[in-house]
Structure 1
Amino acid sequence: MLALLHTSPVHIPVFDALRDVAHPGLALRHHVDAGLLDRARREGPQAVRADVLTVLRRAVADGARAVLCTCSTLGGIAEDAADAAGVPVLRVDRPMAAAAVAAGPRVVVLAALESTLAPTRALLAEEARRAGRPVEVRTRLVDGAWPCFEAGDTDRYAQLVADAADAVTGADAIVLAQASMAPAGRLTATRVPVLASPAPGLAAGARAVRNGRPAVRRAP
C-alpha cells in the first residue's frame, strides 16, 4: 500500500484517477493535513518536521510500504524523515525536476505559493548535480492564483497558471511547482514542455511499493 501525504483534499480524486488509469490494483491511503502547510508558511518548513514524522509513522503503522508527499513545500522535510519512518518516503516533484533538467539548462518555475519557490529551486539544483548538467532557474509567482485555489475556483486557478506558462519565453522547460497546478498543462498553447508532478510522482511511488526501496535518492 502507498500512503499519500496531502495538504489539501483536492488531491485525493486526482491521484485516485491516475492510479485507476496507470496503476490499477495499487492500494492508496490518503492522509490530509492542511494545517501542516499553514504552519510551514508562517514559521518555515522546519517548524513542522516533528509533525510530518508523526504522520509518516502513522502511515507506516497503518500498513504503508512507501509514502509519497504531494506538497512541494514539505517534500524535502518528508524525504529527510525516511530513515526515521522506516519506509521509502518520496516527494512528488522529484521525477518532474529530473525531467526538467534533462530537457535543457533553462528552466522556469511557476508557483502559486511563495513558500514553494525555494524548495523547488533547491530540488532542481540537486537533480542538476546528479545529472552533471548545468541549470539556470527562473521563478515566477502567479499573481492571484492561490486565492482562487483557496476559494475553490479551480478553473480560474488553472487558467491563471496556464496564462503564466504561455507568457514564458527563453525556456527549455516550464515546471508547475505544485501538484494542484497540473490541470493548467492541458490549457496551455506554448511549445515549451510544461511539466507537472502528479503522474511521474505517483509512478515513482508505485515503484517504491513494488521494490521496497526509494525510486530516487537525494544527491549528496
Structure 2
Amino acid sequence: MTHGTGGPLVLLHTSPVHVPVFDALRDRHHPGLGLRHLVHEGLLDRARAEGPEAVADEVGGVLARAVAEGAGAVLCTCSTLGAVAEARAEELGVPVLRVDRPMAAAAMRSGRPVVIVAALPSTVRPTLDLLREESADTDGTTFVGSLLVPEAWERFEAGDRDGYLDAVAAAVDGIAPAEGAEAPVVVLAQASMADAAARVRTPLTVLSSPGTGLAAAAEAAGYRPE
C-alpha cells in the first residue's frame, strides 16, 4: 500500500454530521492520528442533480488544495463521490481512498448474496460499481441487489437523525431471503447510516463503512499507534 507523506489525514465530507462520527472513531481506535475535516455539502447536491462526473474537477480542486496545505492522505466519506475522488490519487501524489471500499471488499469476500441499502438513488450505482470491482478477486457470480429508502433521506435532510436511523433499520429488518436461499450480507451504502446497525433486529450480517474506511486511511497515511 502506498503511504502518505506524514501530514494529517484529510476527510472530505458532504455533510457536517460526519465530523463527530469520525472524530469519535479516531479517539477510540487511532489515538494521536491527525485529522482535518473538509465539508462541502454543495458537491453532493450537484452530483445528485448532474451525476458524479459533473463535479469531478471541483472535487479534484478541493483535494489539490488539501494536498498543497500538507495532507498526507485523503479519505472521501461520500459514497456518491468516492470514485471521482479515488481517480485523483495519481496526479495528487498522496493516497486518496473512498470510505466504502473496505466494506465492499468484506461483503464480496463473504461469498454470499449482497443487498445494498441506500437512502439516495445517486449512491446505488457507485456502490454497485464498487462491489463489481471488488468481485475481481472472487468468481464474479455473487448476486447483488439494492433497496432504496427515500423516506429515510427526507428525515436526514430535516435534521431528524433518529428518524433517519430508525427508517434505515426498519428497512434492513424487512429484508428476508427467499425460501431456501442463502442469507444475504447487508451493505449500508452511506456512511451516515452506520449507527443504524445497532438498531436492527435482523440476524443478518450488516456492514457499514466508517470504521473500516478510517482504519484503511489511517494506515495509508502512515499512522503508527503511539
TM-score (norm 2): 0.91
TM-fit CA distance, 1:84: 1.6
Residue in 1 that maps onto 2:127? 120
4+ residue runs over 6 A deviation:
none
Deviation per CA, 1:176-210: give whole Å up to 9, x if none: 00000001000001111100000000000000011
CA distance in 2, matches of 1:130, 1:45: 26
> Which aligned pairs between 1:161-200 and structure 2 lie closer than 5 A?
161-170=168-177, 171-200=183-212
SS at match of 2:10: strand
Residues 116 and 147, structure 2, Cα contact 8 Å, conserved in 1: yes
Please say which structure displays the higher CA radius of gyration. 2
Deviation per CA, 1:138-158: give whole Å up to 9, x if none: 001013010100111000000
Tell me the matched-pair count: 211
Residue in 2 that maps onto 1:44? 51
Residues 104 and 172, structure 1, Cα contact 8 Å, conserved in 2: no
TM-fit CA distance, 1:80: 0.6
Residues 2 and 209, structure 1, Cα contact 8 Å, conserved in 2: yes
Q: Percent identity?
A: 59
TM-fit CA distance, 1:86: 1.5
Greater RCO structure (CA 8 Å; 6+ sep): 2
Deviation per CA, 1:124-148: give whole Å up to 9, x if none: 1111113445311100101301010
Runs (5+) with no aligned partner, structure 2: 1-7, 178-182
Matched, 1:6 2:18: no
| Of 84, 93, 98, the match for 1:91 | 98
Residues 120 and 150, structure 2, Cα contact 8 Å, conserved in 1: no
CA distance in 2, matches of 1:156, 1:64: 35
80-89 or 1-10, which deviates more: 80-89
Deviation per CA, 1:83-139: give whole Å up to 9, x if none: 122210000000000111122330000000000000000101111113445311100
Runs (5+) with no aligned partner, structure 1: 212-220
CA distance in 2, matches of 1:182, 1:63: 29
